[in-house]
């Protein structure tokens, strides 16, 4: 079987940076590293990291208090690493108050968005964030709005924004959203608030992954396997894009979920892509097994 592997498949640089930061301080298991919630949205990679002394504490939303035993050398000497999705200023202050060595693994692209929101908020702006209100990246970014933030996912949400938010309105996006949706909603916001500042903050890695889907189709892919966690926002959107292109989509976390007998009898050319949190070893396994058919 011919396999076309998307050039963008696998870790983005922000995820790779967060993992490298955690690994550096774990030093091959010599020191415990705690991450506030999952460092990245891939359970297989998190299991691998746990074997290296990198352990997830807290909760998915980075809101729960961390249960540490400071009477032990392990916890007193531990390092706390902020995950790639970032956290709110309040959460940052809490983590630093624990007395552990603190390291920031926030994706620089997310940090740039936080900085933009902070600057606008200081000028009295209300911030509209296009994204999932329950996603940790969005929850962290909301902390920079100085209480004047709104999360939207549709034109209906924009129509529901209060009229009294005034002329000072800015709009940004969660890094992993669809670019065409952001443009459409940005235009809709400006129709309602003509002076709104709309800043495209969808990251380059996301845009590259999204553009790779029609490229796979043009190169002859009859179906596409999308590899990545089911809680990974960018992976879920890749799967949706495949379906929008009219191709059969197989969203899996590992090769074990694929029906290779079915693939063999139905396709001669298959495209493979993966989310920004999907490690290379999972992509390699899927590609190798498909090529062997």
The residues carrying an active-site annotation are: 137
| 14 vs 81: CA distance, rounded Å | 14
As a whole number of angstroms, the distance between CA 93 and CA 102 comes to: 11
Buried b (16+ CB within 10 A) or exposed e, 21-34: bbbebbeeeeebbb
CA 238 to chain centre: 12
Q: What are phi and psi of 107, to 5 degrees?
A: -60, 130
Q: How is the beta sheet containing 33-36 ordered, strand by strand?
A: 54-57, 33-36, 79-82, 101-104
Q: Which residue has the tokens 């997310």?
A: 110
Alpha carbon distance 101, 289 (integer Å): 43
The 3-class SS string of 245-271 reads: CCCCEEEECCHHHCCHHHHHHHCCEEE
**Burial classification of residue 13, based on how many CB atoms lie within 10 Å of its CB (0-12 exposed, 13-18 middle, 19 or more buried):** middle
Tokens of 27: 């030093």
Q: What is the DSSP letter of 50?
A: H
């Amino acid at each position: 079987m011919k396999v076309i592997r998307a050039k963008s498949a696998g870790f983005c640089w922000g995820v790779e940076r967060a993992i490298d930061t955690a690994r550096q301080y774990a030093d091959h298991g010599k020191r415990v590293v705690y991450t506030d919630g999952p460092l990245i949205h891939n359970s297989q990679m998190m299991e691998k990291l746990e074997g290296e002394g990198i352990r997830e504490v807290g909760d998915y939303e980075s809101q729960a208090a961390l249960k540490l035993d400071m009477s032990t050398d392990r916890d007193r000497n531990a390092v706390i690493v902020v995950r790639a999705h970032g956290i709110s200023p309040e959460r940052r202050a809490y983590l630093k108050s624990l007395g552990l060595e603190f390291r920031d693994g926030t994706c620089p692209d997310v940090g740039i968005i936080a900085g933009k929101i902070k600057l606008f908020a200081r000028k009295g702006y209300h911030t509209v964030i296009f994204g999932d209100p329950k996603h940790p990246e969005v929850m962290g970014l909301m902390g920079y709005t100085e209480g004047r933030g709104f999360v939207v996912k549709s034109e209906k949400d924009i129509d529901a924004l209060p009229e009294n938010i005034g002329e000072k309105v800015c709009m940004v996006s969660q890094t992993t959203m669809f670019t065409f949706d952001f443009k459409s909603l940005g235009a809709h916001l400006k129709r309602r608030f003509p002076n709104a500042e709309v800043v495209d903050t969808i990251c380059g890695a996301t845009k590259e992954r999204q553009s790779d889907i029609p490229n796979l189709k043009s190169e002859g892919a009859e179906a596409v396997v999308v590899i990545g966690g089911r809680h990974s926002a960018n992976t879920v959107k890749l799967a949706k894009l495949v379906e929008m292109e009219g191709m059969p989509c197989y969203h899996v976390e590992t090769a074990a979920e694929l029906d290779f007998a079915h693939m063999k009898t139905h396709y001669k050319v298959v495209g493979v892509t993966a989310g920004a949190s999907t490690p290379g070893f999972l992509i390699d396994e899927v590609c190798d097994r498909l090529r062997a058919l």
